[in-house]
Amino acid sequence: MSNPFTSIIKGVVINEISETTTTKTITIKLVNGSMNPMPGQFNMLYVFGLGEVPISISNLYPGKRDIVEHTIRFVGAVTRAMIKAIRVGSQIGVRGPYGNKWPLEEAEGSDILIVSGGIGFAPLRPVVKYIIMNRERFRRVNILYGARTPEEFLYKYELEEYSKIPNSKFLLSIDKPYPGWTGYVGFVTDLIKYTDVDTGNSYTFVCGPEIMMKVAVKKLLERGFRKDKIFLSMERRMRCGVGICGTCQFGHLFVCKNGPIFRYSEIENYINVEGI
């Protein structure tokens, strides 16, 4: 068995897209290895001299196990330096994939509700892609996506495609009024009241700032969504990626090993406790 700490695959950046002033999507070609990541998993990205950070996998490349894509945002010294340093042709180390996945197979035959805010749409983008590729496996699909301003939406070049998914509803929101914006103004969680899904037979996938996810869960439960069918992508500081260092401990669980995707009914006793 390979050592999870030393099995770093060498990669080369073959494409980069500036999504916002603070966010970049990079496509990496793996040079001496391959992987088959699932929606919801993450990799540890390593740049020599800068360090290593966990970043969610933000796209699917079926049949291409030597290609992986990540969307990186300034959230600390390492990611800030990484975004500035990485260019097409840059070498990068990739360790993973780690973590579990969104329960798409379990959700087949049900309605799907996606609630995302800001960079939280990145781990959910593969879910949307999967649904598009396997549309017949799911019933109604509702996608709610919020950002602070129109400029801060990720993947602007794909949003129109998402709005055309058959038997679906795609709603965008921004936090405050903005010149030229004619869509909804308010928090993305406010859009939950406009959803058109069967609350008793719907799987809900939520990712975004933790305060947003807590509010989303509250509103979902008020509407009658089932606790055991609400899934959250949790974020904690990580180092090892395999549940050994303890940095990402979440109650009796580890985000890197048991998550990052958690069923709400599994973590409801932890999520509202300060410091966990």
Question: Is 256 marked within a binding site?
Answer: yes
Residues sharing a CB contact under 8 Å with residue 267, sequence separation 6 or more, in sequence order: 232, 234, 250, 251, 253
| Closest to 258 (Cα-Cα) out of 43, 97, 99 | 99
The torsion of the CA quartet 134, 136, 137, 138, rounded to 10 degrees, works out to 110
Residue 71: both structure tokens together: 């969307």
Per-residue model confidence (pLDDT) at position 95: 94
191: left (phi over 0), alpha (psi -120 to 50) or beta: alpha
How deeply is 157 buried, as exposed, middle or buried, from its count of CB atoms within 10 A (0-12, 13-18, 19+)?
exposed
Tell me how long the chain is: 276
* 207 labelled binding-site residue: no
- What share of residues in the chain are helix, strand, coil (percent, to 5)? 30, 30, 40
Distance CA(263)–CA(205), nearest Å, equals: 9
Burial 220-246 (b: 16+ CB within 10 A, else e): beeeebbeebbbbbbbbebebbbbeee
Task: Using alpha carbons, list the distances in angstroms from residue 21 to 11, 13, 72, 80, 86.
Answer: 25, 19, 11, 11, 15
pLDDT at 48: 86
Is 0.75 surpassed by the pTM of this model? Answer: yes
pLDDT score of 1 = 41
Tokens matching residue 176: 């405050």
* Residues 17/89, Cβ–Cβ less than 8 Å: no
Q: Are the CB atoms for 95 and 4 separated by under 8 Å?
A: yes
Residue 161: how many CA atoms within 13 Å on its side-chain side?
10
List per-residue pLDDT tens for the chain, 276 residues long. 445 555 899 999 999 999 999 999 999 999 999 999 999 999 999 998 888 999 999 999 999 999 999 999 988 888 988 888 999 999 999 999 999 999 999 999 999 999 999 999 999 999 999 999 999 999 999 999 999 999 999 999 999 999 999 999 999 999 999 999 999 999 999 999 999 999 999 999 999 999 999 999 999 999 999 999 999 998 766 556 666 666 677 777 777 778 799 999 999 987 776 555
- Sheet arrangement for strand 261-263: 184-185, 168-174, 141-147, 111-117, 202-207, 230-233, 261-263
